[in-house]
Structure 1
Amino acid sequence: MSKSEVVIPKFSELPLREGDPPYSAWGLYGKDDQLGTLNRLADRIVRDAARKEIQTGKRISLNWPLNAQRDHLLFGRQAFHQRIFQLSSYIVNDDTWSFNSQGSSQWDGLRHFGYQKEQKFYNGVTLEDIHNEKDTGVNGVHAWSEQGIVGRGILLDFHRWRTLNGIDFDPFESQSIPLEYLKATAKAQGTEINFGDILIVRTGYIEKTRSASREQLQARAEIELPPSGGVEQSEEMLEWIWSNFSAVAGDHPAFECWPSQKPWMLHEVLLAGWGCPIGELFDLDKLAEHCEKTGRWSFFVTSEVCNVPGGVASPPNILAIF
């Protein structure tokens, strides 16, 4: 497929092949593809985004510190640990880092979450393909590092919109954000959606985390499946994402409402079905403040995932540029 032109089938045409999992798009970019919806970020789309969105040079990091959760990580994940040591007798330091790639801001990669019933990852990769002595690294995040996740980003500040409209929502509870609310947020902001955009949703999760007590955070960490608010599980939500975006992200732990309120999960379709990156725990508070100040909720995004062959996930190393 030409880098200058991207054509996708209609959502109603999914799955593309008989016998493939629900809503999947396996084979759309070839049986060996590992970029999924990042194929939508054609050179022309990235070039146009840079020309239109970079106006002032203002840069804002969306990276939460790697040690932000410290001793209250969710899902039993390993905390970040740093060791600083002096090299020999010189006045020189080195350090080593040990951490779970999903312990703070992260992109979920295509090895992270598969179709649960079918037990397969993007393009039919199996657990056996990954957990064997001859692991080829297929579906690893290193494939994304070659060109990065780069393009036009839009912030849908649902937290701001629902506060202004008196709508109750607790990001620490399993509450769904309906598609109509996201569309209403975009309309209130005057935010136009372009094909290939990187969708970023602010729920207020990290803002609440900052104000929560240590006891509250530790109590959540002890729950096997700690609840969190997120976008609804629905065909309408899937069709909207499929028709518009190259990647999705938010400030909350699972992007979608968690645990799922349906027998299936968005993670299955987005990651395993389409190869769509899911960003989680992005620190969006400074971004939201700048967007409100300038009245502009679109920007250029540059995210360079770590070049780890066969990696399951990666810190995003992400900047919004205005």
Structure 2
Amino acid sequence: MTDEAFRDLYRELRESAPRGPEDRRGTLRRLTPERVVAASAEVRTGRTVSLAAPVETDPGPDNPHPASHRMLTPADGDAGPDGLHFALDRFAMNVHGNADSHLDALCHVIYDGGLYNDVPASSVTPEGAGALTLDTVRDGIVGRGVLLDVPRLRGVPWLEPGEHVTAGDLAAAEEAQGVRTGPGDLLLVRVGHGRRRAELGAWQAAEARAGLHPTAVRYLAERRIAVLGSDGNNDTAPSAVPSVAFPVHVLAIHAMGMHLMDYLRFEELTEACEAAGRWSFLCLVAPLRLQAATGCPVNPIAVL
């Protein structure tokens, strides 16, 4: 995709939905109370499924700086047989890595010197972000989730690194699965990244991974999707746009104001949807209450 074509697409998507100068929620405005109530009707069996990958603490090709977890107490001999004792621990992680499931806030992407909706990039400082932060979603994200399984459509266990998901793939997956996305939906796109990693081992996902082609973001705008999630990074590597390493992040977050979820885990959800014979469900996302953060680890729950 040429730089000029990308710029044209960026402008098209930026103008695809009206917004006021004070808008800080982006496409979450599509998640109206009425749509949340309607999404609750997706619950039929009460089965819950985690959509998060287990947090890893060992380094690997795609996770050179993994999460750290250490016990603070008890030390050896501290937990005696009598009295009260507490086990305490400390946890730290690189939120926007290539292995852990996480949510991107709208202040995550700085492009052409600014954030979404012309918020100045200077609002992000070493002390934290001052606008479009994770606090925007402090009340959670709840709505109708739809899983589109592109490897299932193509008859393969996963897409190979570097392969693109097109808007045509998404529309064809809808038809094959008997589901249709609509306004306010949380769209989850499976590329099979997690399954490939589990069966073949980790690789340098920063250099090679399957994801959406930039033009597929037009589908998100046309269907008025509220949130996008994937079991990969949502972006393909190498990038389809020579001058922009993460074009889907730029188009979704920066141009449209759409929160993204990266590196989710869909294998159990795929099995549950197959068993239920449907690909939509209630989806609940409860971000951490981090007021000045650009993102956080997340454990979305599907309720079928």
TM-score of the superposition, structure 1-length normalised?
A: 0.81
Task: Answer whether contact 1:156 1:182 (CA < 8 A) is retained.
Answer: yes
% of aligned pairs identical?
A: 25
Q: Distance in 2 between matches of 1:129 and 1:296?
A: 43
The structural deviation recorded for 1:70 is 2.9
Task: Answer whether contact 2:116 2:257 (CA < 8 A) is retained.
Answer: yes
Q: Indicate the residue corresponding to 1:143 in structure 2.
A: 136
Which of residues 72, 94, 97 in structure 1 aligns to 2:91?
A: 97
Task: Answer whether contact 1:151 1:301 (CA < 8 A) is retained.
Answer: yes
Deviations 1:152-188 (A, max 9, x none): 000001122212xx6x9643x2111222122111101
Deviations 1:38-69 (A, max 9, x none): 1100000000111x2011111001011122x7
Q: Distance in 2 between matches of 1:139 and 1:209?
A: 33
Q: Distance in 2 between matches of 1:181 and 1:22?
A: 21
Is 1:109 matched with 2:105?
Answer: yes
Q: Indicate the residue corresponding to 2:254 in structure 1.
A: 272
Which of residues 151, 154, 157 in structure 1 aligns to 2:149?
A: 157
Q: Distance in 2 between matches of 1:137 and 1:73?
A: 33
Equivalent residue letter for 2:145: G
| Compared CA separation, residues 306 and 73, structure 1 to 2 (3 A) | farther
Q: Indicate the residue corresponding to 2:3 in structure 1.
A: none
Which of residues 104, 119, 133 in structure 2 aligns to 1:125?
A: 119
Q: Indicate the residue corresponding to 1:9 in structure 2.
A: none
| Compared CA separation, residues 96 and 124, structure 1 to 2 (3 A) | same
Q: Indicate the residue corresponding to 1:238 in structure 2.
A: 217
Q: Indicate the residue corresponding to 1:82 in structure 2.
A: 69
Is 1:31 matched with 2:31?
Answer: no
Which of residues 233, 236, 251 in structure 2 aligns to 1:257?
A: 236
Q: Distance in 2 between matches of 1:42 and 1:28?
A: 16
Which of residues 54, 62, 71 in structure 1 aligns to 2:51?
A: 62
Q: Indicate the residue corresponding to 2:4 in structure 1.
A: none
Q: Distance in 1 between matches of 2:126 and 2:45?
A: 49
Gaps in structure 1 of 5+ consecutive residues? 1-13
| Compared CA separation, residues 75 and 114, structure 1 to 2 (3 A) | farther
| Compared CA separation, residues 207 and 132, structure 1 to 2 (3 A) | closer
Q: Aligned pair count?
A: 284
Q: Indicate the residue corresponding to 2:264 in structure 1.
A: 282
Equivalent residue letter for 2:219: W
RMSD (Å), alpha carbons: 2.5
Q: Distance in 2 between matches of 1:26 and 1:127?
A: 23
Q: Distance in 1 between matches of 2:126 and 2:118?
A: 16
Gaps in structure 2 of 5+ consecutive residues? 1-6
Q: Distance in 2 between matches of 1:109 and 1:25?
A: 20
Deviations 1:66-94 (A, max 9, x none): 22x73026375x31111113267642111
Q: How does 1:202-221 map to 2 (within 5 A)?
A: 202-213=190-201, 217=202, 220=204
Q: Distance in 2 between matches of 1:205 and 1:136?
A: 31
| Compared CA separation, residues 284 and 169, structure 1 to 2 (3 A) | closer
Q: Distance in 2 between matches of 1:267 and 1:92?
A: 42
Q: Distance in 2 between matches of 1:70 and 1:282?
A: 18
The structural deviation recorded for 1:27 is 9.2
Q: Indicate the residue corresponding to 1:10 in structure 2.
A: none
Classify the secondary structure of the residue corresponding to 2:14. coil
